[in-house]
Structure 1
C-alpha cells in the first residue's frame, strides 16, 4: 500500500473509542490479526527516574500508567559499551540482536552497507509489518535503509551548549538556564526535540489507523539526556531544596580515572569537581524536569492510540538505552557498572499481558527484540542472542542466571549473579564486591573482607567464563588482583 506521508500536527481532543481494522476480533474468533508493536525508547533514563518504581520525587504519570496497565521487569540491564557513547552499543544490540562485542562487529558491517536485512525492522517486514522510525538513531546504518518510513533521524545528542558544563558553581550561578531557547540543544530549530518526536508519532498513528497492515513504531526520544533542558514551568515545579542527595553521594569517586570515567570524560564535566551538594541537587532537579516534560509527550501518544482505537491490539514496550548516575557515587555519567547506570525501566503493555505485575528476574533490555518477534510470528534467527520475555510474563519462568557488563576494551568488567556483583577495574588491578541483597545501593565494597574471599574467587572465575561466551578478548588474570592472591593462602 502507498502510505501517505504523516502530517505532524498535534491533535488534542476528547478521547473517543473508535473501531478500526487493527482492533482484535472477539475472543471467540481465533483468527486474530497480527498485533501492532510500539517501541518507546528513552535516553539516559535510570530505573530510579520513575515514580512508580520507587522514586517519589519525580513525577511520571504516563510511565506510571504503563506500570499499572502492564508487566514491569524491575531488573533490566544493558551490557555496557565499547566507548563513552554507551547508547551506541545499546542501540546496536537491540537493532541487530547481538551481544555487545558482536554488535560492535555488526556496526562495522552496517558502515559498509551490509547486514541490513538481518535487523529488527527487516525481520518484522518479512511477515507484513509496515515499519516506522522517528527520533534518536545513533546507529551506523542509515535509518531509511532499515525502516519503511523515517520521519526524522536525530543525532546522538542534542547540539552541545558549552555554558551547560561545570555548573552550577554556586547558588548564584544562573548564566545557563534549561528554558533559555537561545542556548541551542533541545531548542535548536525552535521547538523542543521531545515535542517534535511526539508530533511525528501522532501523525503516523493518524495514518496507520486507516491502513490494513500491522505496524511497528520505533519512537526514540533523546530525553532525558543532557543538556537537561525543558520549559520553565517544568523546572520550577521542582524546588531544588526539596531534592534529596543520593545515598551514595561522594565528592569524588576514588577509581574514576582508572575506570575510564575521569574528569576528561564529557559526561563527567557537567558538574564541578569535586562534586558539591548543591550542584548535584541542581542537576537532579533538571533531570526530573526534562523527564516530566518527556512523560507529557508520551501521555499524548498513549491518548492518541486510545482515540484511534488501536490500543486493543497494540503491544507497547518502554525502556531506555541505559541509566545514569546524576551524582550517585560521585559520578555524573553512565560509564560505570553500578545499577543506577546499567539498569533501566522496562514495561510491557498489551493484549493478555498481566496488569500491575512485577517480574524481578534479571533480563537484558535487548530481550525486547526477541519478544516482538515471537508476538509477530517470526522465527527467531540463530544469530539473535537475546530471548523473548513472554515465558517470564506468562509462565513465571526464570530469567538470566548471570548478567555481564563491560566498558571499553580494558576499563571495566562486571558480573551480577546470585544477588552479588563483582566489578573489575583492570587498569587499577582493583576488584569491588557488593552484596546486593543487603546493600542494594552498592555502598559497601566487601571484596577484601576475609569472609568473602571464596565469593570473590567464584565470581571472578564465572566472569572469565562469561567473557568467553560474549566474545570478550580482554584477558583477566587472577594473579593481578591482591584479593585473589590472598585467597590462595586461605
Structure 2
C-alpha cells in the first residue's frame, strides 16, 4: 500500500511539475483594428504608447491576415476560425454546429484546459456556443457589438448639427452598464491575473475587447486628443467605390451606412478621429494589464499575443467597413512577446491571425485535432523556419469577392461584377493603381488568377471562378 501511495504521489508531482513548467498565455484581442493604427509601426497620426512598448518587447508580424467571411459580420467568421482552427469555408460549414465542436472538446480553450491550463475569458465572444461552458472563469461575455442608436448613422454632414457624440453616456453603447466596456475588460483581466497568481496551473487568458468597433465612443479627454486639424484623409480616399453595389458594400450594408455616401473628407476625418480616440483609450487599458502582469511577477513566464479579428477601411477607397479585400481591412497588427522572443523585431512572412491559436497549443504541448488548418509561429520566431507556412494568402467575402496575395502582388476578383483588379503591393501599398487592364501585366494576371482558382478549390470554395469569368 505504501509503495502504491508513493508511486501515485510521484506521478502527481511529475504531472503537476510538467504543468507548472508550461508558459502562461495572455491573448489580447481587439475588434475592427487595422494594421496601420499603431504608432510604433510608423503611423504617427495616432498615439498608442502601450501597444508600442509591447512591440518593443516582442516581435511584430507585419503581414497578418484574416481569410474573410461567409457573413456580413466578418468578426463571426474570424472568431469561429480562431476557436475551431478551421479555414474559412470549413469553419462556415460547422458554424451553426459549433456547439457540437464544444461537445467534442476540440475548441481552443478546451484543448488548453486538457493541457493543464486554467482558462479565463472576458469580453466579445460572438461564437455560437456558451463561453461559460468552455472557460473555467468567464465574466461579462459580450455580444458582437455595443448597441447603437439611429443618430450614429449617415453622419456627419457638413453644415448640419450632429446630434451624436462619442462621449455622451446617455446614448448607451460602450457606456451601457455605467462603465466603458474596454475598462471592464481591463478590470476582469487584472482580476484573472491576480487569481492566476494563486493557482498552481499555468493560465490562458482570452481578453477580447469590443473596441475599436463602432459605435466609436471614448471619454472626452481621448476625443480631445484628435481634433480634425490633426486627422489626415487617406491617400487613397475617393468619394465612392465604383463596384460597391456588386461587391456587397452599398449603403444597405450596416457598416457602410455609418457615413454619408458619397463620402466627404469632413465625414471621413470625423470617423477617423473617433476611431483613433477609441483606440488610444483601448491602449491605456492594455497598458494597465501589462503593468499588472509585471507587478505580479508573471511576465517572465508569459507569452503575450496582441491582434484583432480583422481591419477596417474608415475612409480608404470610399469604404467605411471591413467587408472588402483591401489590406486596410484584411490585415491586422500582430505582436508576440514572451520568453526567448526577439525584442523590437519584425517578421515580414505572411501569416493568418488565427495562427495564434496553433501557436498557443504548441506552447501548451496540447493535442491538435486533424481538422486544424493553421500553423504554429514558433518556428518562425525561433529561426528554425525562414519562410511562411502559406505559399499564398487567400481572401473571400460572401460569394461576391475573392483575392489572392502572392509574392508582393494581389489579385482581387469580383464574380458578380466580373471584374479583376491587380495591384503591385511592393510598389503600391495603398492599392491605388489597378494594373489588370495593362497588356504588360496580362501574363501575370493570368498566373495569379490560376493560382487563385486552385487555392479556392483546395479550400472548398463553392464559387467556380473559372466558370464565372468565362461567361
1:401 aligns with 2:391: yes
Number of residue equivalences: 453
In structure 1, the residue matched to 2:12 is none
1:226 aligns with 2:214: yes
1:106 CA drift (Å): 2.4
Q: Secondary structure of the equivalent of 1:359?
A: strand
Which of 256, 261, 266 is 2:254 aligned to?
A: 266
Residues 20 and 200 of structure 2 are in contact (CA less than 8 Å); yes or no, is this contact kept in structure 1? Answer: no
Q: Secondary structure of the equivalent of 1:428?
A: coil
1:374 CA drift (Å): 1.1
Residues 151 and 200 of structure 1 are in contact (CA less than 8 Å); yes or no, is this contact kept in structure 2? Answer: yes
Distance 2:227 2:188 in 1: 32
1:425 aligns with 2:400: no
In structure 1, the residue matched to 2:461 is 472
1:295 CA drift (Å): 0.4
Q: Secondary structure of the equivalent of 1:318?
A: strand
1:76 aligns with 2:67: no
Distance 1:471 1:105 in 2: 10
Distance 1:190 1:248 in 2: 39
1:354 aligns with 2:336: no
In structure 2, the residue matched to 1:213 is 201
Structure 1 window deviating more from structure 2 (81-90 vs 393-402): it is 393-402
1:335 aligns with 2:323: yes
Q: 1:84 to 1:446 in 2, by over 3 A?
A: same
In structure 1, the residue matched to 2:425 is 436
Residues 116 and 141 of structure 1 are in contact (CA less than 8 Å); yes or no, is this contact kept in structure 2? Answer: no
Residues 111 and 140 of structure 1 are in contact (CA less than 8 Å); yes or no, is this contact kept in structure 2? Answer: yes
How is 1:85-484 mapped onto 2 (pairs within 5 angstroms)?
Answer: 85-111=73-99, 115-170=103-158, 172-395=160-383, 396-399=385-388, 400-408=390-398, 410-477=399-466, 480=469
In structure 1, the residue matched to 2:55 is 67
1:207 CA drift (Å): 1.1
TM-score, normalised by the number of residues in structure 2: 0.94
Residues 171 and 278 of structure 1 are in contact (CA less than 8 Å); yes or no, is this contact kept in structure 2? Answer: no
Residues 109 and 115 of structure 1 are in contact (CA less than 8 Å); yes or no, is this contact kept in structure 2? Answer: no
Q: Secondary structure of the equivalent of 1:438?
A: coil
Distance 2:44 2:428 in 1: 20
Q: Secondary structure of the equivalent of 1:427?
A: coil
1:171 CA drift (Å): 5.2
Residues 430 and 481 of structure 1 are in contact (CA less than 8 Å); yes or no, is this contact kept in structure 2? Answer: no
Distance 1:114 1:168 in 2: 44
1:278 CA drift (Å): 0.5
Which has the larger helix fraction? 2
Distance 2:76 2:103 in 1: 17
1:134 CA drift (Å): 0.2
TM-score, normalised by the number of residues in structure 1: 0.90
Q: Secondary structure of the equivalent of 2:272?
A: helix
1:436 CA drift (Å): 0.6
1:83 CA drift (Å): 1.3
Which of 30, 48, 53 is 2:41 aligned to?
A: 53
1:116 CA drift (Å): 4.9
Deviation string, structure 1 residues 93-128 (Cα, Å, up to 9, x no partner)? 010000011111222222557555111111111121
Residues 130 and 213 of structure 1 are in contact (CA less than 8 Å); yes or no, is this contact kept in structure 2? Answer: yes
1:477 CA drift (Å): 2.0
Any gaps of 5 or more consecutive residues in structure 2? 1-16
Q: Secondary structure of the equivalent of 2:405?
A: strand
1:432 CA drift (Å): 0.4
CA RMSD of aligned residues (A): 1.6
1:173 CA drift (Å): 2.8
Structure 1 window deviating more from structure 2 (473-482 vs 389-398): it is 473-482
Distance 2:132 2:438 in 1: 54
Segments ≥4 residues shifted beyond 4 Å = 29-32, 111-116
Residues 54 and 335 of structure 2 are in contact (CA less than 8 Å); yes or no, is this contact kept in structure 1? Answer: yes
Q: 1:187 to 1:435 in 2, by over 3 A?
A: same
Distance 1:276 1:31 in 2: 56
In structure 2, the residue matched to 1:13 is none
Residues 96 and 106 of structure 1 are in contact (CA less than 8 Å); yes or no, is this contact kept in structure 2? Answer: no
Q: Secondary structure of the equivalent of 1:477?
A: helix
Distance 1:245 1:172 in 2: 21
Structure 1 window deviating more from structure 2 (108-117 vs 51-60): it is 108-117
Distance 1:217 1:363 in 2: 22
